[in-house]
Structure 1
Amino acid sequence: MANLGSPDAPVTPAVRRYLHQFLMDPYVIQLPWPLRKAIVSLFVLPTRPKASAEAYQSVWMEQGSPLIVLSEKLKAALKAKVDVPVEMAMRYGKPSIEEKILTLTADKEITELLYIPLYPHFADSTVTTSVEEAKRVIKKHRLDIQLRTVEPFYDNPDYIEALVKSAEPYLEQDYDHIVFSYHGLPESHITKLDATGEHCLKQQNCCQLNKPEVHKTCYRHQVMRTTQCFALQAGLAENRYSVAFQSRLGRAKWLGPNTEDRLEELAQAGAKKVLVICPAFVTDCLETLEEIAIRGEEVFKQAGGHSLSLIPCMNDHPAWVDVLADWCQP
């Protein structure tokens, strides 16, 4: 299994190293190397690491980064369910994909590697870069092993059922509205993958139209589909939930509406209790624990709301572990 990654420590130097590796990935900032290097070195790294380190400090666990700690718990839970070796790697930071693939393939009897990018929705900046890194490692070390990859599972019925089950204790609470907050993407990441050049973000209700050849790599369509499937499974009324996008970076036009703007609108419209669920993440991390549960709550309350409850990610919920265990079957 592979997740995104985390700094080694909640301090500025460690965060700077992590951000440099992350943002210099051409799948993340999709610009030529000289321009990407200039943006990262001149506009991001001088100031953002300090602010991000402070954010990490607000959610850091005694055992380490929440993403790493919770990912390791997921690995342990899955290992207890299956009879094959299991490892957890990070695309950026430690433990690296290279390290964990080499750990697994040290056993020469292993002939196939099941690779699970822990991202329900397709994006070059998550799925593609993760899979390409696995391929690079296999090629670099001339490993005689077959790579089998789990495709994005945004509307997989078992995944949807596990997601709803993990959220049920919160859905049973009294609330006014649920915000489905997904990690944002620059609109250019969406339109670039539209081979027709005439569909994504260019037609009204483009995500609802029947275009499977385009939607296979359309992040926006896939998050809308996850929301639709969840709402149907959980029996949510259409007027009690909405979709928003978080974690913007830079000046490019990103998918909207912005989550903080949506929270303000809800509070100003009279909503007092909101739930926020972040299905783009299967593991709680800085973007959920700090950006939503801390900053998002502040924004909502300042605009007149009373309480914001973050619905935790699936983490090591038994229903999610069961899904992963089923995927591990030959």
Structure 2
Amino acid sequence: MSRFTPSKPLFKDSKAIDNYVLYNFGQKPTSGQIKHYWLSIAKMYFSVENYSMTAEFLFRLILISPQNYEALELLGTTYRKQGQLSNALEYYERALSTPNAPQTLAHDAAELCIQLVKKQKEESEIKNLMTKALYWIERKRSLNNNKYDPQAVQLLQKIYVILVRHADKQLDKRSCLKRREGIPPVVNIKWIDESVKDLISSEETLIDPLLHILLTKSLLKIQDYQRAWKHVMQRRYNFVDSLEWNTFVKTTFPKYKLEATIDNQKEPLHEPTELIFFANDNVVRLSLNMRLPEESDKLVNEFSELVKTWEIPKSQNAQLFFPPLI
């Protein structure tokens, strides 16, 4: 929410404020009076929750002083209080664009973009709002020693989910339309793809593993197996202590093992075998302290059986499973 915090009301209701304004400024205030006093009067009306009068006084002030940061911020907050999110975003952005403006509103602007995008159906509007949200988060970060604060992390997670789920939804829709016409389905929505890639590469340790699971499922859904494999292999050490992530890899990727190939070649990669064993091993390790003994034994036996039966390249067999002779 905006940093504006109303002080204790000086007047008990709007009528008292009306009388005060009329007594002190009459019906035709001068430009100088508006410039010097209208912000304070708008705050009085805001404190008694008379938002229409708050906006009326702010409009008159902004006409005379269009670069007044406090007036623009308060007008944005007034609209936000009334649920008029598009107008609130407009005035927050105008406030942030004033010379030497503090960036305290940047995350508020990003949050409004996220709230607005949930009501949008047009691809262009969704793209515009998500791009704006990322811009304001990055702008605040640039003034914070290039570090994301906790609020920024929460906003990034919300954006991540929206982007991936929207891509998923669009691919479903477009795939259905293409199949009707006998044309192969679309496999990519470029702007979403690039936004998600930038998001997870800029500060990957701050993104929850559950969001990476969501992204990987989307890649598998559109049959982009190489990128899915590459993604999980890149994250194998990031999420080594995440039971959810390792369980996902353990249960999902064995059936896609033959799809992990070198670019433009049909030869399967050896790393996926190691990755799946690694995930199984982590699941056993992380589960030992969380489950009943019989459940843990079952997991250990399951892993042992996997090691015995899985087809492993001979070159890696010894180094993976047999300890060196002493």
**TM-score (normalised: structure 2):** 0.22
**TM-score (normalised: structure 1):** 0.22
- Higher helix proportion (structure 1 or 2): 2
Question: Larger relative CO (CA 8 A, sep 6+): 1 or 2?
Answer: 1
- Higher strand proportion (structure 1 or 2): 1
